[in-house]
Amino acid sequence: MEITVYKSSGKKTTKKVNLADDIFAIEPNDHAIYLDVKQYLANQRQGTHKSKERAEIVGSTRKIKRQKGTGTARAGSIKSPIFRGGGRVFGPRPKDYRFKLNKKLKTLARKSALSYKSKEEGIMILEDFNFEGPKTKEYLKMLASLELDNKKTLLVLPESNKNIMLSSRNLPKAKVTTVDSLHTYDLLHAERLLISESSIEKIENLLK
């Protein structure tokens, strides 16, 4: 599948890039995508939630009323869950939500996400570029020239570039990542996927 290469100024070039069909044009596997996204979101959870149970509440151990003759249920502690300020029954405890997935399944999920973007014509290839310094204004100018300033974008670079990453950091709808950090969740979350020209070969080598 051939796709036109654009300059960061928004102009088309005469170059075209051939995207591998076994990565950008497969039959998407929705269940693989679901599992990969589920794992990503689970890994973001801190799992530090905790509430005190009756044994952890600080309070008097005095029996609050006599056992019989009150006409109400017996009660032995102010820390009981039935009283205000008492402990919680079966409250949340710290938990690790992370789980593992097969490497081949994660690769299939990424291929599926890329294939969906390709079908939706949501992929744009950019000539390799760089900024002289970290300037958000320059990154906004680039998005505006590509008519993407109001869309969620994901820019994929072959390797980390400090100037480009810092330039996009304050923009809520723009994200920059590298090929090694490419994830299914980010691919699906973006409305338009921007891939630098030199990233194509690295993506194909990574997902083969």
Cα(184)–Cα(11) distance, integer angstroms: 29
One digit per residue, the tens of pLDDT, for the chain of length 208 reads 788 898 888 888 888 888 999 999 999 999 999 999 999 999 999 999 999 999 999 988 889 899 999 999 999 899 999 999 999 999 999 999 999 999 999 999 999 999 999 999 899 999 999 998 999 999 999 999 999 988 999 999 999 999 999 999 999 999 999 999 999 999 999 999 999 999 999 999 999 8
Helix, strand, or coil (residue 192): strand
pTM of the model: 0.83
Which domains are delineated in the chain? 2-46+98-207 (3.40.1370.10), 51-91 (no CATH)
Type and span of the H or E element at 37: helix 30-44
Cα(131)–Cα(154) distance, integer angstroms: 17
Let me know the angle formed at the C-alpha of 25 by 38 and 108, rounded to the nearest 5 degrees.
30
Q: Which residues contact 181 (CB under 8 A, 6 or more apart)?
A: none
Helices assigned H by DSSP within 92-182 = 103-119, 136-145, 162-168
